[in-house]
Amino acid sequence: MMARLGVITPSSNTVLEPQTVRLLKPVADRLTVHFSRVRVTAIADDPEARGQFAVAPMLDAARLLADARVHAVLWSGTSGAWEGLDADRRLVAQIGASTGIPATTSSLALLDALQVLDVRRYGLVVPYVKPIVAKIEHTFAEAGYKCVARSFASLTVNWDFAEMSPHEIADRVREVARSVPDVIVIHCTNLRGSEVSEDLEHELGIPVLDSVVVGVWGALQLLKIPVPRARFGRLAETPASQAVARDA
C-alpha cells in the first residue's frame, strides 16, 4: 500500500515543499506527500506574530489533509522552538484527537534527533531576531541542551528567509563550528539548509541538522519507512532509523 504524508506548511514558505519532495524522492515508490497551508508571514516576539501559531488554523489544515486520508501529519514549522515544546506536544495531541492521525513537528523531531545522537552542546543557525533566538535557547536549555554558539540574521519577514543563499548558510554553520559544538542545528524550514547540510557534515566532522530534513526524518519514523541514506547525513545512521528499517 502506498503511504501518504501530510505536511502543514507556513503560507509564505517557499523552501520546504520542494526540499521535502527532493528528500523523499528515494522512497517515491512507497510514499506520496501532500501539503496544506496556514498563514505565517512574519516571525517576531509580539502578540500578532505569535498569534499566527494558534491551534485552530493548524487543526483546520490537519483536517484538510485528513480528507486525503494521510497516514501521518508533520507541522513543518519551527514555532515550538520559541513557543515551547509543550505547545507542539499539545498540537500533536489535538491533531490526533481531531483526525485520528499521528503527528509530529519539526521541533519535536529535533528533540528526538538530539536524543538519538546523544549530544548536549549545539550550535544554532537561524534567520530570526535576537528575542526569538533567546527563546529558542531557553526552550532547549529546559530540555537539557546548551547552545554554545549562534549565528542569526535578524530578519522578521518569513518570505525573506528563503533569499538567504546556501553559501551564506554554509558560512554561518562554519562560524558556529569554531566553538566545537557536538551538533549544529539549522532551525528554520524556510532556509535552504538541506542543500548544504550533508556536505558540511563531511567537511566539519560534526552532525548538521537542518529542520526540513529533521522533520521529514521524524515523519518517516511515524510511517515506519526506512530513512534514505542520501541527504539525511548522520540521521540515516542513527539507532532510531535502523529500528524503523527493521520494523518496516
> What is the structure's pLDDT at 19?
98
pTM of the complete model: 0.94
Distance separating alpha carbons of residues 201 and 47, to the nearest angstrom:
37
Res 1: pLDDT = 84
The Cα–Cα gap between 150 and 127 comes to: 11
What's domain 117-209's architecture?
A: 3-Layer(aba) Sandwich (3.40)
Q: CATH says 3-108+212-247 is which class?
A: alpha beta
Which residues in the chain come in under a pLDDT of 50? 241-248
Q: Where are the domains of the chain?
A: 3-108+212-247, 117-209
pLDDT by residue (tens digit) across 89-147? 999 999 999 999 999 999 999 999 999 999 999 999 999 999 999 999 999 999 999 99
Per residue in 63-72, pLDDT (tens digit) is: 999 999 999 9
Domains 3-108+212-247 and 117-209 share a fold: yes
The tally of CA atoms less than 13 A away on the side-chain side of residue 7 is 27
Q: Which residues, other chains included, contact 31 with Cβ-Cβ below 8 Å and sequence gap of 6+? A: 2, 3, 4, 5, 24, 223, 225
Q: How far apart are CA 137 and CA 71, in angstroms?
A: 32
pLDDT at 239: 52
Residue 228's contacts (CB-CB under 8 Å, 6 or more residues apart) are 23, 24, 26, 27, 236
| pLDDT at residue 248 in the model | 33
